[in-house]
Amino acid sequence: MGEKMTSATTNWATPASVELLYVSDEPRYVASNRSVRVGGMNEWQRKAIGKVLEYKWQLNSNWDSYESNPISEWVTCAATKLVEKVPFDNVPAPRVVPVSGGGIQMEWSKGHRDLEIYFRPDRTIEILKIVDGVPLNDGEGLTSINLGVESIFSWLNAA
């Protein structure tokens, strides 16, 4: 991430491992503006991250006329980090939408399977797996520090 060169700038912390998603909004650079390095990413990842940051940039308070907050720093970090960590190229591009309250929802569809991931401003991530329009779970609540990214997208890719 270039820490050796810049000694510190605003980006996020390194994940504990490929399998774990460690979400932190703590940048370690002297520069304060945030940017996400996308050199090794594929097209869908770059577009999804661009959309998340665009919402973060564009949506002010009350953006939905229901007094929703802007997209929070944590939500931005979590959504970006998750997209960065998906270890497959053959994942379809997700639909990225803001949700009331200041969260982000990402939706992937492949074959009969849909995957919806909600990044909530209360620092929770919720995952919904859907097969033929029927949810498999009731919103699988996960802590923000332990998320098996590979297994979730393996499930989607198995469609």
Partner 1 sequence: MAGDADAALPDYANPPVDETALSIQFSPIPNFGIQHYGLYWAKVRDEYPHFQVRTPVPSVTEQAESPIPRIQLDLQVVEAPEVRCWYVDRSKNRLFQIQTDRFIYNWRRINGNEPYPRYPKLRDSLAAEWRKFCDFLTSENFPKPQVNQCEVTYVNHIEYDKGWNGYGELHKVIAPFAEPGRKTFLPMPERANMELHYRWRDDSGRLHISLQPVIRGRDGKEVLQLTLVARGAPKSSDDESVFKCLDHGREWIVKGFADFTTESMQRSIWGRK
Work out whether 97 is an interface residue with partner 1 (CB under 8 A): no
What is the rounded CA–CA span in Å between residue 50 and residue 136?
Answer: 30
Work out whether 46 is an interface residue with partner 1 (CB under 8 A): yes
Work out whether 88 is an interface residue with partner 1 (CB under 8 A): no
Work out whether 38 is an interface residue with partner 1 (CB under 8 A): yes
Residues 14, 54, 141, 146: which binds partner 1 (CB under 8 A)?
54
Q: Answer whether 125's CB lies under 8 Å from 119's CB.
A: yes
What is the rounded CA–CA span in Å between residue 98 and residue 91?
Answer: 21
CB of 77 to partner 1, least distance (A): 10
* Residue 127 burial (CB count, 10 A): 17
Q: Which helix (H) or strand (E) holds 55?
A: helix 43-58
Which candidate, 124, 150, 126, 151, places its Cα nearest to that of 18? 150
Of 35-43, 98-106, 136-144, 148-156: span binding partner 1 (CB under 8 A): 35-43
Nearer to partner 1, 24 or 124 (CB): 24
Work out whether 39 is an interface residue with partner 1 (CB under 8 A): yes
In the chain, the N- to C-terminal Cα span, in Å, equals 34
CB of 43 to partner 1, least distance (A): 10
Residues that bind partner 1 (CB under 8 A): 2-10, 13, 24, 26-40, 46, 49-57
